[in-house]
Chain A
């Protein structure tokens, strides 16, 4: 053990970098994590050959399920995330993706099997099912000569991520729009009262929220009630950099049926937000996916992922005459 330490103390000389860090106002701050992240391999920078063809169908949200049945699925194999701590996932091995656009909106559909529905995160031990869809922000070429990490992008190579969450879906469908503590702990206000929600107490608690509201006051989207969407619109430039956008543009809907999830995410082809990927019929881009299985405690890097980009091709708009 001591030998090992002596040997390692040679490495310690690189502590010169410390000086750099010391000039920061935080002792340990973003972007200095060491050792737990590996670079993408050459193979990972070769996109898959088979593209997802986003079919042009003049459908809207009500008829989208029928439209998806006319679109050919792209089947992707998933594996555990093993590049950035904490590694994990791998319990979902395959995913089917379909794409449709109607000239103004683009729709992506995902199907994967998951025997357990995990759509609550109100208590310590509850983790959500989710699916993430990632695009390079800009129009790029991806090859071993022009690498672009299929894992969260990179410095100077931003990605746009759409993250659908099972608990957000549940809340959208529920009456109050947000799950509260008393939904998990119905007797939380008193153990010995036939009224599980004595009004005066409940009121006091509720009104105290703005005072010490943590994430809610900080504007953390995860903490807000009535978000009005089930999909979070984010950006990243590498591991640990995932950031919620100020402007949310993506919508979604999902359903757990026949031991699996069927999730659709959709957005306007073009948005006014410079942090969003833009879709132009006829132009090719790339996408990648990740799936989280809440039952297995999946969250953050603990997820089932596809390790390579897949091309996305939007059919051009066909006019009826």
Chain B
């Protein structure tokens, strides 16, 4: 084992390889608040990569309903339980100002074991704690769809007696969109005894070499997000490939420019923004929309940072769900992120307009000021909306989109309102 810095945890952690970050990192921001669970992303994935024999059960992209849903079933409950280790590993965070640092420890300090460290603490003969889901657990990708959680049953309260009012709904559920996180410290890669899994220097995409894999299923066992999957038909494992040909700009539609992954580009709810993070987390680029949302504005958070893999899909948490549940899922950054999302700054308001405006990945954005169009109060705070214009640029500097905060509308001439 060696020590590597994990900025999600605000500290160095044990990992079987040296720290070696990619030049740029494939990443995405998912705004949970906007997802309508239409599963268009899921089908976009399926029809692109896993429509063949042995891949029937594979959904490299899936959308599950929290808190009960999971693909494979209860994956996160199971990992959390393993990590909890009968209370010996409390998964605690220190969040005083002393424990924080703007770039290297923005959420504070995680003071318990990660999946890698727990395997060591327990003296297990493997790199990380984990389990292999059996085939029944993969069987119902959308089980418990729209099933809400509540402290009380309908019988106790009478239907709808528990009101749904912000900041926390008493009866709640939300959709969690999941793909492989192309982690900075992939557990799948650490677990592979053959070193058949590699992380690309140029974009941080994590891939399983289909020639070297021997179907040992160690990645299936030790990826805490359960994203590598065993393909019985070929006797080896496969995982999300981040649509790397698109990311490389191989699709002619974007004329050689980097293109968002399929699941991202298909998103109906416009919840996803996909691109590359700049490589050095200590020097985020304030003009890169992902760097800005993740490192600077900190409105988007990693999924289960306590696992320790430094996952690279970031989520804007749902406003209505109980904070304690969200803190467990997205770490201690939740309160700050939600506050920022509930009354978005002018800049955030503008950046949110970039989501799903083009398939081309943005490397840079600019904002042009517009007029004030609206004013209100949210949670006792004044909130003003300006009709600013945001401009998104590809990495070669080409302007790809120009959108305003207020969506333009037109009214047709009355004469054209033909009725039959």
A27 touches B236 (CB 8 A): no
- Encode contact with B along A113-124: 1 for CB under 8 Å, 0 otherwise: 000000001111
Interface members, chain B 195-246 (any A CB < 8 Å): 195, 198-202, 204, 209-218, 220, 230-236, 238
B contact residues, total (Cβ < 8 Å): 62
Q: Does B54 contact A (CB under 8 A)?
A: yes
Interchain CB contact under 8 A, B234 and A85 = no
Q: Which residues of B contact A319 (CB under 8 A)?
A: none
Partner of A28, one of B189, B194, B215, B238: B189
Q: A180 touching B233 by the CB < 8 A rule?
A: yes
A227-261 residues with Cβ-Cβ distance < 8 A to B are: 239-240, 242-243
Interface string of B34-51 (1 = CB under 8 A from A): 000000000000000111
Contact code string B113-128 (vs A, CB < 8 Å = 1, else 0):
0000000000001110
Known: A86-B126, A242-B194. A8 touches B135 (CB 8 A): no
8 A Cβ contacts from B352-406 to A = none
Given the contacts A5-B12, A85-B127, A34 and B111 also touching, CB distance less than 8 Å: no
Nearest-CB distance from B213 to chain A (Å)? Answer: 7
Residue of A nearest to B233 (CB): A181
**Chain B 1-41: CB-based contact to A (< 8 A → 1; otherwise 0):** 11100000001101011111110000000000000000000
Partner of B19, one of A18, A36, A299: A18
A22 proximal to B (CB < 8 A): yes
A1-B18 contact in complex given A184-B232, A208-B53, A222-B214, C-beta closer than 8 Å: no
Q: Mark A1-41, 1 if CB is under 8 A from B, else 0.
A: 11001001101101101100110111111111111100000
Please report the number of residue pairs spanning A and B whose Cβ atoms sit closer than 8 angstroms. Answer: 183
Q: Are B51 and A31 in contact (CB under 8 A)?
A: no
Taking a contact as CB atoms closer than 8 A, the residue among B17, B125, B232 that contacts A122 in the complex is B232
B201 CB contacts on chain A under 8 angstroms: 22, 24-27
A86 touches B218 (CB 8 A): yes
Pick the contact of A123: B12, B16, B135, B204 (CB < 8 A). Answer: B135
Is the Cβ of A216 less than 8 Å from the Cβ of B234?
yes
User: Cβ of A123: which chain B residues have Cβ within 8 Å of it?
Assistant: 135, 230, 232
Cα distance A215–B216 when bound, in Å?
14
A184 to B134, CA, bound (A): 14
Indicate whether A86 sits within 8 Å of B125 (C-beta atoms), given known contacts A27-B20, A301-B193: yes
Bound CA span A31–B196, Å: 11
From the candidates B132, B195, B213, name the one contacting A215 in the complex (CB within 8 A).
Answer: B213
Q: Say whether B280 faces chain A, with CB atoms less than 8 Å apart.
A: no
Which of chain B's residues have a CB closer than 8 A to the CB of A240? 193-195
Residues of A within 8 A of B200 (CB): 25-27
Q: Which of B125, B132, B135, B199 contacts A27, CB < 8 Å? A: B199
Please judge, given known A-B contacts A84-B193, A124-B220, A212-B55, whether A15 and B19 are in contact too, CB under 8 Å: yes
B103 to A: closest C-beta gap in Å: 18
Q: Which of B2, B193, B212 contacts A300 (CB 8 A)?
A: B193
Contact status A220-B211, CB under 8 Å: yes
Q: Is B56 positioned at the interface, with any CB of A under 8 Å from its CB?
A: yes
Question: Hey, which chain A residues are within 8 Å of B1, CB to CB?
Answer: 34-35
Q: Which residue of B lies closest to A21 (CB)?
A: B20
Q: Which of A14, A214, A218 has the most CB of B within 10 A?
A: A214
Whether a CB of chain B sits under 8 angstroms from the CB of A211 is: yes
A32-52 with Cβ < 8 A to chain B: 32-36
Shortest distance in angstroms between B214's beta carbon and chain A's nearest beta carbon?
Answer: 6
Query: Assuming A21-B18, A27-B201, is B3 touching A181 (CB within 8 A)?
Result: no
B284 neighbours in A (Cβ, 8 Å): none
Closest Cβ neighbor of B194 among chain A residues: A240
In the assembled complex, which residues on chain A have CB atoms less than 8 Å from the CB atom of B125? 82, 85-88
**Which A residues fall within an 8 A CB radius of B?**
1-2, 5, 8-9, 11-12, 14-15, 17-18, 21-22, 24-36, 82, 84-88, 121-125, 180-181, 184, 188, 205-206, 208-209, 211-220, 222-223, 239-240, 242-243, 299-301
Q: Which 6 A-B pairs have the closest CB atoms?
A: A87-B125, A218-B210, A223-B234, A215-B234, A27-B199, A122-B232
18 sample A-B contacts, Cβ–Cβ < 8 Å, listed by A number:
A9-B3, A18-B19, A27-B20, A28-B189, A31-B195, A34-B16, A35-B1, A121-B235, A123-B230, A124-B138, A205-B53, A214-B238, A215-B234, A220-B210, A222-B215, A223-B234, A242-B194, A300-B216
Besides A29-B195, A35-B2, A242-B214, 15 new A-B residue pairs in contact (Cβ under 8 A), listed by A number: A8-B12, A14-B2, A15-B18, A15-B19, A25-B201, A33-B16, A86-B125, A86-B126, A121-B235, A122-B232, A123-B135, A124-B138, A209-B233, A215-B213, A223-B235
B residues at A contact (CB < 8 Å): 1-3, 11-12, 14, 16-22, 49-56, 111-112, 125-127, 132-135, 138, 186, 189, 191, 193-195, 198-202, 204, 209-218, 220, 230-236, 238
